[in-house]
Structures are given as structure tokens and as C-alpha cells.
Chain A
Amino acid sequence: MDAKPPAASDREPRQPAEPRADPNRPDAVLWALAVTGDASARERLAQLALAAARSELLRRGVPAAELPDLVQEAQRTTFAFLARNPIAPKDLGTFLKYRAWGVLSDHRKKHRASRLDYRSELEEDMRPTSAATTAPRDALRLREIAVALAECRRGLPAELGRVVGMRYDSELGTDAIQHKLGVHRNTIHVRVFRALERLRACMGRKGFGAEDLT
């Protein structure tokens, strides 16, 4: 895959101040050099962005056919961000990882909206939860998780349980939930967030961690 950084002519105007980097932080030095247009630093940053995006997207189950476009988008937006931000992220590797997550969230949102991607539909339908398509031991584990999650959902306060039902069971978007409940969209987001927090804590008490849900 092409790890070359965008051409200099594609770069957006930079802030005039010369970026200063802590010499003890190699990431910051690399970022600062890349901001100044140093070709080898930009090449290295492109390689880092590519490697981080590929490994993270593969880990999240992105099909190989969709990988190049998503990796390219992660690289492109990283360089667009570089052009506007002379200060390096505190942890470059973690930032690049979350950039891949961000690109994937955007991608999944588009698929949810269009309902045209059978591969994603299948992936979401079948992969982690369908006992029929997994090994018996995994299927048993998935059933245990499903039972535990159902119990945890029953323990949610009514207003949180309702918003969870609308979001996941009825697959309503924030706008549709807002229309039904007549509350501010931030309130909906906070309720979903609190519900997920409670579910996660409840699952933790039942012995299921985040790694069980991947």
C-alpha cells in the first residue's frame, strides 16, 4: 500500500509559528519535523499512520476489500490535521489508533444509513453472537454473555432501559429517539452513555470484560 505522504502542494497553509518539540519525545520531534515539511519525517509519519490504521482495522474485523480505502482515509485526515496543528498529540501511536476507530465509526454509520453493505450486515449479524456459526465452546460462551447482558438490561432504570431499547432493538437514530421522547439530543446521548456504563459494570460483576465483547 502507498505509504507516501500527500504532496507538498496538497498541504493546507500552516500556522506561522515554528513548532517547538520536546527533544525527549521522539513522536513530538517527528511531528514537528513533519509540520515543517521535512520529507523523511512526513514519509515516516505516513508509514506510522498506515501501520496503525491497518493493524487496528484488521483487529476490528474490517474485510480486506474495504481496508485500503479506510487506511487511506485515516492517513489523509491525519495529514490534514497535521497541517492545522503544529503541536504533536501527547501519544502519537494512541492518536493514530483512535484515528482508525474514528474512520471506522464514520464508515459504519454510512453503512447503517444505506443498509446496502451485505458484508457488514452479515458481520454484525453473525460473527459474535450467532451460536449456529461458531464452535460449540464459543457458542456456549456467547450464550452466557447474551443471558448475562439480558439480565443486566433488565436491571436498568426505566428511562435508561427505554433509550437502550430504542437505540439497539428498534435501531432508531438519535434524531428519531429525540422526536419520540421530546428531550434534547445531549440528554439522549448522556442516557445512552450512562446505560452503557451500567451495563459494562454489571457485566464486569458477572465476570465478563471488554475482551469478551470484541
Chain B
Amino acid sequence: MSATPQDPRELSPQEMAQALEWIDGELSTEAALEFELRLAADASLAAQVEGLALLDLHLRREARARVHVERTRRRWSIGVALAAAAVLAIALLPKLLAPRAPDFEVALAPSFALAEDWIGAQPELRGSSAPGIGSVRGGNANQRSAAEFLRASEISELSVSSNALETGRRELEAGWFVVPIDLEAPAAVIVLACGEQAPATRLFPTQADPGQAASAARLESGRQLLPSPRVIAGRQPQTLAYQPGFLVPLNVGSLTLLVAVRRQVPEPAWFQALEAHMLAGATADQLGERLAREGFVVQRLLVREPQ
């Protein structure tokens, strides 16, 4: 990069105001782009703005953490003994009463960023398209109705899932992937991804909101594909939409996946606690132990980033 930090120059009030608006996301896209163009050209401005943006984020986080600690203290001051007894009961009873986790098989299958690549890789779909699904390369697509295409796609998915599960494919090199799973009984399913550098993340359920994640974690028995089938109904009637699956982030090296299954669906608060543990830098081993302690059966898979 040609822009290198220089001695800071005094910014004009307009520059300061604009920098703050950019940090706050208050500029229009056009104005933000113009400002970013200036940042790319003015190393002194960039160095000042970058430093302040990091400090701004730190101050916001710190203020939130203070509020969080205050709330926690307040809660604990109201009947510590009662709360401790409740915590013990909540912690121990589910373990004593929890039924055995259902058996399951899980595997990996490659996926594709683009619908045309998925279509091209499936004999049942090759050369065809449908409303909402990108046309095939080279033109002259065999246009099918949404219902026809969806049926053909389901057949393809079944074949892909069966093949992956029957061969027990637990390692894969791919930029995108899906996770076929076969459940003996209805159960809660959680998939976590642990990279070599970044904190672990929850891949499934895909919903960030803990309440929605708790609802979406429960799956019916039988064969399923995570995060979803590649082709699903579109927002408009008689149209379809393509879902590429899970992404392997750039430069991640490899991702260790923890697929955890138990009969009881976790509460939203459980998801919040898990997220906090991951953000604090928990490793795959630590997360696996935690999940096992909480009644999950955990299987490991490995996805390598393509070289």
C-alpha cells in the first residue's frame, strides 16, 4: 500500500465531523465512499480516523460491559442463597432427568457459490433452469416449472446426502459445503465452526437471535441437509431461490466443525452463554467438552480451505 502513516496534521472541523459521521455509519453510501476515497489518499487522515474508530468501539463495548456487570450484581444481591439453590437445581436436574441423546450420522458434502455450478454438477438438473434460479452457462436452458425443478433438486440432494453419509465423508476440501445429517429421533442440532485464527462461530442454527436459534435448532427425525436444501421456494409465488450452504472464510486454513445433538432443545439463554464462551476464545476441545457436559453427543468434521 502506498498510504503510510505520517505525522498527524490538524484536521478541520468539517473533517472531524465527517469522520465521526463515517464512524457512526451516518453518512450516505455515496458520501461514505467519497470519504473512504480520501482516507485511501491521505495517510495522516486515515491514521487518525482509524485510531479513533477503534477507541470509539472500545468505549462503546466498555460502557455495555459496565451495564452488564451492574445488572448482574443487582440480581445477585437479591437473595444469594435462593439464587444459588435455584442455579444448583437448574444445573443438576436436567442432567438427572435428561433422556439419552438420539443416535445420528453426519457427513460433509461440497457446495457451490452459484446456482449454475450446483445445476451443472447434478445429472438430474444439468441444462435446466427455473424461475428465480440463474440460467445455465452457455444459454439454451431447459426451462422447467418451479415445482418440477424443486422435485428434481430434492432427488439430487437425496443422492448427495446418501452418498456422503454412506461413505462417511468426514473431511472435505471446499470453499462452500453442506452437512447431511441422519437423526434417529427428533433432536436439537448445533453446528459450531472453529478456525485456526478467529474465534469459533455458530453455523447452525443460522439465526443470530438466540430466541429464533432455539426454535430453529429442533429438527425432525430422518435425513436433513444443513443449513438447508440448495433450492427452496422463492419469495414470489412459483419461483425458487438458491442457497449456497456454509462458507469457508478466506485464509481460515481449516475449520473444525462440532456437530452436537441432544434431545432437549436449549433455551435462548444457553445460546447467549455459548456465544460468550466462543467470543472469549474457547477452542474446539473446550467447546466439545462443554457440549458433552451439557448432554450433547458431539461429532467432529474437518473442512479445509482450497489451496
Name A residues whose Cβ lies closer than 8 Å to a Cβ of B. Answer: 1-2, 4, 50-51, 54-55, 58, 61, 63-68, 77, 80-81, 85, 89-95, 98-99, 101-102, 105-110, 116-130, 133-135, 145-146, 149, 164, 168-169, 171, 174, 185-186, 189-190, 192-194, 196-197, 199-200, 203, 210, 213-214
Contacts and interface: CB of A to CB of B under 8 A. Distances in A.
Contact of B68 (A66, A130, A192): A130
Nearest to B275: A122
- Taking residues whose C-beta sits less than 8 angstroms from the other chain, chain B's interface range is 35 or more
A193 B20 contact: yes
16 contacts: A63-B201, A64-B247, A77-B29, A80-B29, A91-B1, A98-B39, A105-B23, A107-B25, A127-B61, A130-B69, A168-B63, A196-B55, A199-B59, A210-B50, A213-B54, A213-B55
B26 interface: yes
Given A109-B24, A174-B24, A126 B37 contact: no
B63 A171 contact: yes
Contacts of A185: 17
B64 A121 contact: yes
Interface of B is mostly: helix
Contacts of A92: 40
Nearest to B210: A118
Contacts of B176: 1
A91 B24 contact: no
B232 interface: no
B61 A124 contact: yes
Contacts of A108: 25
B25 A54 contact: no
Contacts of B280: 126-127, 130, 133-134
Contact of A129 (B29, B53, B62): B62
A106 B25 contact: yes
B276 interface: yes
A197 B53 contact: no
Given A1-B175, A193-B16, A126 B65 contact: yes
Contact of A116 (B20, B56, B209): B209
Interface string B166-186: 000000000110000000000
B26 A109 contact: yes
Given A124-B60, A135-B281, A91 B2 contact: yes
A113 to B, nearest CB: 10
Interface centre among B46, B60, B208, B247 (most CB of A within 10 A): B208
Nearest to B39: A98
A93 B166 CA distance: 46
A99 B25 contact: no
Interface in B176-219: 176, 193, 198-199, 201-203, 206, 208-210
Contact of A99 (B33, B69, B247, B272): B33
B52 A119 contact: no
Contacts of A200: 51-52, 55
Contacts of A199: 55, 59
Contact of B208 (A91, A118, A168): A118
A91 to B, nearest CB: 5
A197 B202 contact: no
Contacts of B13: 186, 190
A93 B41 CA distance: 11
B251 A55 contact: yes
Given A91-B1, A174-B26, 6 more contacts: A58-B198, A61-B199, A105-B22, A116-B209, A122-B276, A124-B57
A90 B63 CA distance: 37
| 8 tightest A-B CB contacts, nearest first | A109-B25, A95-B40, A105-B25, A90-B41, A133-B280, A193-B16, A189-B17, A98-B36
Interface centre among A65, A95, A123 (most CB of B within 10 A): A65
A65 to B, nearest CB: 6
A203 B175 CA distance: 42
B71 to A, nearest CB: 10
A189 B20 contact: yes
A187 to B, nearest CB: 8
Contacts of A80: 29
A125 B209 contact: no
A118 B214 CA distance: 13
A200 to B, nearest CB: 5
B173 to A, nearest CB: 16
Nearest to A149: B62
B54 A94 contact: no
